[in-house]
Amino acid sequence: MKALLIIDVQNGFCPGGNLPVPEGDKVVPVINRLIEDGSYDLVVASQDWHPADHGSFASQHPGAKPFDMGTLSGKPQVLWPDHCVQTTPDADFHPDLNTDAIDYIQQKGENPAVDSYSAFRDNDQAAVTGLAGYLKAQQVKELDICGLATDYCVKFSALDARDMLPDAKVCFIEDASRGIDPEGVKAAIAEMREKGVAIITSRDVLSD
């Protein structure tokens, strides 16, 4: 089985959202084309899904500003603007994303005491989500990953896919993804490549 994993293509990470990724909305038509091309057996999406008092929010740390470095449960943590709060429009998928085609949605980031960039497990690696189990049960042997943001949730999801799905080939689709910081994106791509994630474009996937 070949699966597409779409990371956090939510209003909060698109222009107008609470934690906008530059050009975040530009991934939507590319991802829809990938979905509708029909080369995936399975389409899975993650959704950043925070309680209103999530500890990664600068608002929960007196005196801190968004994008400051702080701590959460004793570990270094980037403090974010409040974003993707459960059941708010900021947490909805981008309205143009073809959500009818999504077979499984993995929500993450619900524990206020730990952040969860990866769709597979919390940043402290103590608790896993159901995603690896689901993909294993579906016998996924090829997993293509894309979405927002390349330097955070996409990167950590791809690295965890390498660790937790040792039998699967893992690819990162560069033009179906955008990141927060250009230097961070460069470093993320280098790290993914070094750890065995293949870097591809949507052209490599689409039948012509």
Q: Which residues bind ligand VGL (CB under 6 A)?
A: 8, 13, 48, 80, 117, 148-149, 152-153
Tokens 């993320």 found at: 188
Report the SS3 class of residue 146: strand
Active site residue 153: yes
For residues 153, 50, 28, 37, the Cα torsion angle rounded to the nearest 10 degrees is 80
Q: Which amino acid is at 84?
A: C
In this chain, which residue has its C-beta nearest to Zn ion? Answer: 48
Catalytic residue among 14, 84, 146, 153: 153
Q: Which two tokens stand for residue 118?
A: 């990866």
Contact call for residue 82 and Zn ion (CB under 5 A)? no
Q: Closer to ligand VGL at the Cβ: 13 or 40?
A: 13
DSSP 53: T
Active site residue 8: yes
Q: Within 13 Å of residue 129, how many CA atoms lie on the same side as its CB?
A: 29
Catalytic residue among 14, 82, 108, 122: 108
- Tell the smallest beta-carbon distance from residue 146 to ligand VGL (Å): 12
- Tell the smallest beta-carbon distance from residue 12 to Zn ion (Å): 8
How many other CB atoms are found less than 10 A from the CB of residue 86?
Answer: 16
- Read off φ and ψ for residue 66, nearest 5 degrees: -55, 140
Residue from 48, 82, 122, 144 in contact with Zn ion (CB under 5 A): 48
Binding mask 87-126 for Zn ion (x = CB under 5 A): ----------------------------------------
